[in-house]
Amino acid sequence: MKKLKVLLLVLAVLLIVPFGVFAEEATDVTEESKEVNVYLFYGDGCGFCEKAKTWFASIEDEYGHMFELVKYEVWKDAANSQLMNDVAEVRKETVNGVPYIIIGNQSFDGFSEEYVDTILSKIKSEYETEPSERYDVLDYVDLAANGQEDENNTVRDVLVLLVLVGVVALVTVGVVVARKQTN
C-alpha cells in the first residue's frame, strides 16, 4: 500500500509541473506585448538606414517603453530579405529599397526627417491600442517558410509527449503493482 501512495504522489507531481511551466510562459508573453513592434528592414552600410537607426536610438529615453525596434539586415541575410519580401507581399506593396519600416498597419518606404512626426504618432497610437487589438504583419507571414519556425513549440510538443508517456507508464506500473499486492 505504501508503494501505491508513493506512486500516486509521483504521478501528481508529474501532472502539476508542466502546467506551472506553461503558466510562466504565458505571463512572459503578456508582459512583452505591451510594447509596439517596430520592424526595421535595413541594409548594412545604407546611409538612410543609419539615420533611421540613429533617430530611433535618440527617442529611446523618452519613448523606449512604448516600442521595441526589431531589426532585420536584408543585404547580407537572404532569409531576412525573403522575410521583407513576404511582408511586402502580405501588405500588397512593392519594396523599393531600405529602410522599410512597419508599425502596425502602416509602412514607411525610406527614411527622412519628414517621417519622424508620423512615425512617432503611429508608435503612440499603436501603444494606446489594446495589445490584443493591434495589427502585427508578422502574424500573417509564414515564418516557417523563412526557416524561422518557432523552436519553442517543437520543444514544448516533445516535452508534453514525454510527460504523457511517463504518466501512462507510471499508471501501468501502479496497476501492475496494485494487482500483485492484492493477489
State whether 73 and 138 are in the same domain: yes
Residue 123 shares a structural domain with residue 177: no
- In total, how many domains does the chain have? 2
Give residue-wise pLDDT tens across range 20-73: 544 444 434 344 458 999 999 999 999 999 999 999 999 999 999 999 999 999
CATH number of the structural domain spanning residue 109: 3.40.30.10
Tell me the β-bridge partners of 121: none
- What is the spatial distance between Cα 11 and Cα 168, in angstroms, rounded to a whole number? 10
Q: pTM for this structure?
A: 0.62
Q: What residues make up the domain containing 177?
A: 2-30+151-182
Q: Is the dihedral of CA 80, 82, 88, 94 positive or negative?
A: positive
Judged against a pLDDT cut of 80, whether residue 125 lies above it is answered with yes
pLDDT digits (tens, 9 = 90+) for 94-124: 999 999 999 999 999 999 999 999 999 999 9
Write out the three cell numbers for 112.
527622412
The C-alpha atoms of residue 2 and residue 59 are separated, in whole angstroms, by 65
